[in-house]
Amino acid sequence: MASVELEQIVGIANRADGIVDGPLRTGRQGSLIVAFGHSKYEEATYRGQVFSAIVNGATAVAVGQVVGGAAAAAVNFALVNPSGSGVVLILTKALLAMHSGTPAAGPVCHGLLVGFTGTIPTTVPTGNLAGGSSSPKARAQISAGGAALTGGPAPVNLRPGNWTASAIATPGAAVLGIQPTLELIEGDIACPPGTGYLPLWQGVGGAAVTWTFGCTWEEVAYP
């Protein structure tokens, strides 16, 4: 049997976009180079596919922002992928921060909106590409005091998030039992067209509940 020579390159190679013939890259000791050349989300971000949305200082937990919430109820935050958008929303990060008040005890969960045929929210989320002109397909319902998600389906409770609220008030604020409040979702929550995403508390809680929530996602061509 004839031997096959595997062509290799040692050192950094800079190439233009496109399909090319060429070797794998190896190290000086013959190892295959598989290390990240840049940060994880660098290419998707500079190509204008990464976006974020935030509700900053929600002044209550709206009646639809809870596990078991009703269809079309008021929410403080929801991310919607309109039907026909042509993209799937791949969630990468979510952050929840508690400001004050006595929240309902228990985990704050990741929730889904399945079969969204209602009124699409009008808020256009923010691109992470500084100075870029890319615009997301997703739309966000953002309301500090809560606003009806008109025609939206009842939320589906997917799983607990990285946040557990204590119902015991400390001087000036309640305590979130898990710190830090950032969860790296890393793409295992995806919203195709006609669906959405939102955090779900265990209940509206007591008086003066104030909180912030934000998430980041990548928009990828669908299917």
Question: Structural domain boundaries of the chain?
Answer: 42-221
Give me the amino acid identity at 6: L
Backbone φ/ψ region at 104: left (φ over 0), alpha (ψ -120 to 50), beta: beta
- pLDDT confidence of residue 180: 55
Please give the pLDDT value at position 170: 56
- In 3D space, the residue among 22, 50, 67 whose CA is nearest the CA of residue 138 turns out to be 50
> What average pLDDT does the segment 85-111 reach?
92
- Do 164 and 152 form a contact (C-beta atoms < 8 A)? no
Report the pLDDT value the prediction gives residue 167, as an integer from 0 to 100. Answer: 58
Query: Judging by beta carbons within 10 Å of its beta carbon (0-12, 13-18, 19+), is residue 5 exposed, middle or buried?
Result: exposed
Helix (H/G/I), strand (E/B), else coil: 43: helix
pLDDT of residue 59: 94
The residue whose two tokens read 């994880």 is 40
Average pLDDT estimate for 190-197: 98
Q: DSSP class of residue 197?
A: E
What is the per-residue pLDDT for 153? Answer: 97
Using the predicted structure, report yes or no on whether residue 3 has a pLDDT greater than 50. Answer: yes
Contact call for residues 58 and 131 (beta carbons, < 8 A): no
Mean pLDDT (whole number) for 81-107? 92
Mean pLDDT of the chain: 86
Question: Is 1 a residue whose pLDDT tops 90?
Answer: no
Cα torsion through 180, 159, 220, 93, rounded to 10: 0
End-to-end Cα spacing for the chain = 43
Compute the average pLDDT of residues 177-199.
Answer: 88
> Helix, strand, coil % (nearest 5) of the chain?
0, 45, 50
Give the tokens for residue 46.
Answer: 């500079």
pLDDT at residue 178 in the model: 46
pLDDT higher than 60, residue 8: yes
Q: What is the DSSP string of 138-168?
A: -EEEEEEEEEE-TTPPPPEEEEEEEEEEEEE
Encoded amino acid at 112, one letter: L
Least confident range of 40-44, 74-78, 85-89, 215-219: 40-44
200 contacts 108 by C-beta, under 8 angstroms: yes
